[in-house]
Amino acid sequence: MSLEALFQKLYDSPLAAAIRENTSYFPWIESLHVLAITLVFGTICIVDLRLLGYRAHRRGARRLIVDLLPFTWAAFAVAIVTGALLFTSNAVAYAHNAQFQWKMIAILAAGLNMAVFHLTAYRRIGDWDDAHRPPLAARLSGAFSLLLWIAVIVFGRLIGFTLSVF
């Protein structure tokens, strides 16, 4: 089965039809999606600012990451589920929308950035945990993360203005 056929099958599903045809389903799902993304960005932003050297309530970077990570992952899970429901409602159009594609690329790049951070600077966090100025690798990771998540938000917002309805 081709991707195009899969997208069409999703679009034709009863779930997609229910989301499209009910006047309140899509706005409720979209609102939950926006709230989840807000929590994801907010928690990531706190950590990224700490990685850039801004102090966070006199907590070390490790403590901040450990404390916020469960909230970030829970919100990300909600964002994935609600995003998948929104995608299903008009899968063919979303799949061909450039802003949607860029949003997905930015999310993947943010995940890759996080993986690189955890495989490099985070492994030596004991050496710099309480330092006012984290090492360059941590600062770069924080800066890239902020930029990528801002891109996710911007491209996500632009989807509504550029999505073709057919």
SS3 content of the chain, % helix, strand, coil (to 5): 80, 0, 15
Instruction: Please report the pLDDT score of residue 91 as a whole number.
Output: 95
pLDDT digits (tens, 9 = 90+) for 90-149: 999 999 999 999 999 999 999 999 999 999 999 999 899 888 889 999 999 999 999 999
In DSSP terms, which residues pair with 8 in a beta bridge? none
- Tokens found for residue 77: 């899970």
Q: How far apart are CA 114 and CA 19, in angstroms?
A: 33
- Tokens found for residue 23: 């006047």
pLDDT digits (tens, 9 = 90+) for 63-76: 999 999 999 999 99
Q: What is the pTM of this model?
A: 0.91
